[in-house]
């Protein structure tokens, strides 16, 4: 429901194109992109998209997402269905290896972490019960894989019920286990999905769902939280005082939700190390507000990012259609400040990550060519910007072609450069030869923006 709503809005609210921009082809980087060190396009004739990027302990990085291509850069893949897709690069951006994981049905990777043993853990949601997947309970399940340092499977586990159950984020826990968060179709599960029920009665269309497994992938506990409507957790971080903080959106105004602002709100849930609810807070206005990511701050608080259609209640500024909205809260969920970023078009964020100087990098997409976004090359562009710890905009940059381009994640590297990942459907994305459908793009910005 959420993904359909998002893309309908993205298509309906198209902004104007900066006609002064002339595409210079795939053999050169336009002068306005002189701060770009490299751009790499990877994929086949199908759809190839990343969702997550992390730095690795050897100075390189890994990218994770999903692909349904079976040719060109994915020629070793056999079935034209979505599989999890993990790519490992060295410090210079050279692809060292790539692997796909899945079966004969729809398997979409969402998040990757490097574990303390030098391997990886990956999560997402999968329909397969064959190939690499040993089990499926119906439609999508949370599918978790533990890999060694070369991407070989050590173990895999599916967690779900008869409905659509999605995992979107993943953390390695202090004891070497894993915590993953996402969405439980609690109606289809008939109230199952918690080792101890989080509310007095089964309720809701979908719930925030947090699951803890041990180092071998064995279930320790799981809990769900929400109300009678649609509630989804898209991101999680370790709490400053232990436990976990999940962020996403809620459409509900009852049960676990105590202070709804209207329609869809940012919703933040803090649980202890055993999954017990400690506090929850909603943020937004009377329009649609959807959180996509969360990051810890050095003062004991958290920053939450997503997009807002609101212009009232807690949203004091709206530049037009949808803006990127950043919310700062303290360690117990009190609102400290909020800022909107965007222009007159449709702008949305998918990721917020800390930088070494105390600021934060935000990655998403923009259709605006005014306000905070000074350029637009057609449809949605990659949009990345940096804010300081008080939410002041320090710099911003749009990158794209004349088609649909979405940035999904961003990190700062050890040399203070910036790595951005996303997907492009453009045939004229700078330095990228379109291979067909959506291609994965890795882009490196030089240090000292």
pLDDT digits (tens, 9 = 90+) for 251-262: 999 999 999 998
pLDDT, the chain, mean: 92
User: Do 262 and 284 touch, CB atoms closer than 8 A?
Assistant: yes
Q: For residue 405, give its domain range.
A: 2-445
Q: How many CA atoms lie within 13 A of 243 on its CB side?
A: 16
Q: Give yes or no for residue 155 having a pLDDT over 80.
A: yes
| pLDDT tens by residue, 328-341 | 999 999 999 999 99
Residue 34's pLDDT is what?
84
Three-state DSSP at 151 gives coil
pTM of this prediction exceeds 0.75? yes
pLDDT classification of 202: cutoffs 50, 70, 90: low
Number of domain units in the chain: 1
- Residue 25 banded pLDDT, cuts 50, 70, 90: very low
CATH of the domain at 310: 2.130.10.10
Query: Does the pLDDT value for residue 274 go beyond 60?
Result: yes
The residue-averaged pLDDT of 283-305 equals 98
- Reported as a pLDDT band with limits 50, 70 and 90, residue 27 is very low
| Confidence band for 420, pLDDT divided at 50, 70 and 90 | very high
Q: In what order do the strands lie in the sheet with 219-225?
A: 166-172, 178-184, 207-213, 219-225
Listed residue (326, 441, 416) closest to 39, CA to CA: 441
- pLDDT tens-digit map of 42-61: 999 999 999 999 999 999 99
| 329: helix, strand or coil | strand
């Amino acid at each position: 429901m959420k993904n359909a709503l998002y893309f309908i809005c993205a298509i309906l609210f198209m902004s104007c194109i900066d006609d002064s921009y002339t595409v210079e082809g795939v053999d050169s980087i336009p002068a306005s992109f002189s701060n770009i060190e490299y751009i790499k396009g990877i994929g086949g004739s199908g759809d190839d998209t990343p969702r997550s990027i992390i730095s690795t302990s050897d100075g390189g990085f890994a990218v994770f997402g999903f692909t349904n291509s079976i040719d060109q850069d994915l020629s070793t893949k056999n079935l034209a269905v979505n599989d999890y897709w993990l790519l490992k690069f060295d410090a210079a951006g050279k692809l060292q290896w790539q692997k796909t994981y899945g079966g004969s049905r729809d398997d979409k990777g969402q998040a990757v972490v490097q574990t303390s043993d030098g391997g990886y853990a990956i999560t997402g949601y999968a329909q397969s019960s064959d190939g690499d997947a040993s089990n499926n309970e119906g439609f999508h399940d949370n599918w978790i894989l533990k890999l060694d340092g070369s991407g070989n499977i050590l173990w895999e586990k599916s967690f779900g019920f008869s409905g659509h159950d999605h995992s979107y984020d993943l953390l390695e826990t202090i004891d070497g286990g894993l915590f993953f968060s996402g969405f439980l179709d609690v109606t289809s599960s008939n109230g199952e999905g918690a080792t101890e029920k989080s509310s007095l009665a089964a309720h809701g269309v979908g719930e925030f769902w947090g699951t803890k497994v041990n180092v071998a992938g064995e279930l320790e506990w799981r809990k769900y939280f929400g109300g009678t409507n649609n509630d989804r957790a898209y991101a999680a971080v370790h709490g400053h005082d232990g436990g976990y903080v999940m962020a996403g959106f809620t459409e509900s105004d009852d049960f676990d939700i105590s202070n709804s602002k209207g329609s869809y709100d940012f919703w933040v849930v803090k649980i202890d190390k055993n999954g017990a609810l400690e506090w929850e807070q909603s943020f937004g206005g009377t329009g649609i507000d959807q959180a996509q990511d969360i990051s810890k701050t050095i003062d004991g608080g958290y920053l939450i990012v997503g997009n807002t259609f609101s212009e009232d209640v807690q949203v004091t500024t709206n530049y037009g259609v949808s803006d990127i909205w950043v919310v700062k809260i303290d360690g117990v969920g009190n609102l400290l400040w909020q800022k909107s970023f965007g222009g007159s078009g449709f702008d949305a964020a998918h990721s917020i990550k800390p930088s070494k100087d105390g600021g934060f990098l935000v990655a998403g997409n923009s259709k605006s060519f005014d306000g905070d976004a000074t350029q637009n090359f057609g449809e949605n562009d990659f949009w990345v910007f940096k804010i300081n710890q008080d939410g002041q905009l320090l710099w911003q940059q749009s990158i794209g072609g004349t088609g649909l381009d979405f940035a999904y994640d961003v990190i700062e590297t050890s040399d203070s450069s910036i790595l951005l990942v996303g997907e492009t459907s453009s045939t004229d994305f700078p330095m990228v030869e379109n291979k067909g459908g959506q291609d994965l793009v890795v882009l490196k910005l030089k240090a000292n923006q």
